[in-house]
Amino acid sequence: MDTTNNVATERVGFIGLGTMGAAMATNLARAGFDLTVWNRTPGRGDETLVVGARRASTPGEVAAASDVVVLCVTDSPQVDEVLFADHGLAQGLRSGSLVIDCSSISPLATLDFANRLAPIDVTWVDAPVSGGSEGALNATLSIMVGGGDDDVARARPILAAMGTTITHVGGLGAGQWAKAINQVILAGTYLGVAEGITLGLKAGLDMDKVVTALSGGAAASWILSNRSGRMIQDDYPLGFKLALHRKDLAIALALARETGAELPVATLAAAFEDELIADGHGDEDNSALARSIRQRSGL
């Protein structure tokens, strides 16, 4: 297939129109791609239709209308379902099709899915994303990509419509390894910012001013800039669900056990997240980790 001008030649399907996926699909349509969409929950993602996407009735119908299909669903079982259940993608994908998986799943599951599609000459790129709902909305996501050189080159114009930092980190599964590492680092950063905010509040400081001061120094981070206000106000509107971060930490901790790595901070964050989920906070933004620190500090 000639991919010299992907916007003109590639028909794109998109499956998974949640908080992240709907914005990502909308940006693909705005970039000029011929777009067909489907979501497991009917009625979500209508904003993609406004900018020219078509809604399919099944994943198989998406596959039949597409050369490249992008997935952005919750976990490995959902990827398996949209691929191989009745009327799944595998029933509509043709030889030469490409699947770009922006979901966050295990690298081992990635290899399994790719191997199951290889006999029908369908290739796979794993391309999990980071940047939160803001990054999805503004097409400024950081995208960690695993796959063969030719497949990644084919995927790149599509990924460029959704993100600004697109890094080919290695072969199949490498993108998912990078995403697991990303979530481990985020766990520590969320906890560190939450502890600093809590200490300042206990001291009676104006934490908005403190954050401004810290943002120009070595403590600066995306979380400090974009999530400290929520921690100060103790209010956590959705950006990236805490329950989804816990799912991703489970992947990272499993990989750590397999490789013999010790992740004490990620293990602590997972325990705090388990408590928060049990208390009904799993659908709040991941910055709700600050609840645990605040509560332990009497705030």
Is residue 10 a contact partner of residue 158, using CB atoms and an 8 Å limit?
yes
Kindly provide the residue ranges of all beta strands, DSSP E only, lying in 23-151, ordered along the sequence: 34-38, 54-55, 68-71, 98-101, 123-126, 129-130, 141-146
Query: What's the pTM?
Result: 0.92
**Assigned token pair, 299:** 């705030």
257 pLDDT more than 70: yes
**From CA 255, how far away is CA 252, in angstroms rounded?**
5
pLDDT score for 45 = 67
Any residues with CB less than 8 A from the CB of 100 and at least 6 apart, and which? 68, 69, 70, 71, 125, 127, 155, 158, 159
pLDDT given for residue 2 in this prediction: 38
Please report, rounded to a whole number, the percentage of residues in the chain having pLDDT higher than 90. 90
Note the pLDDT of residue 43.
73
| Mean pLDDT score, 107-133 | 96
Mind listing the pLDDT tens digit for each residue in 261-279?
A: 999 999 999 999 999 999 9
Reported as a single tens digit per residue, the pLDDT across 137-154 is 999 999 999 999 999 999
> What is the reported pLDDT for 5?
45
Could you tell me the domains of the chain?
6-172 (3.40.50.720), 177-296 (1.10.1040.10)
209 is catalytic: no
246 pLDDT band, cuts 50/70/90, is very high
pLDDT band of residue 165 (cuts 50, 70, 90) is very high
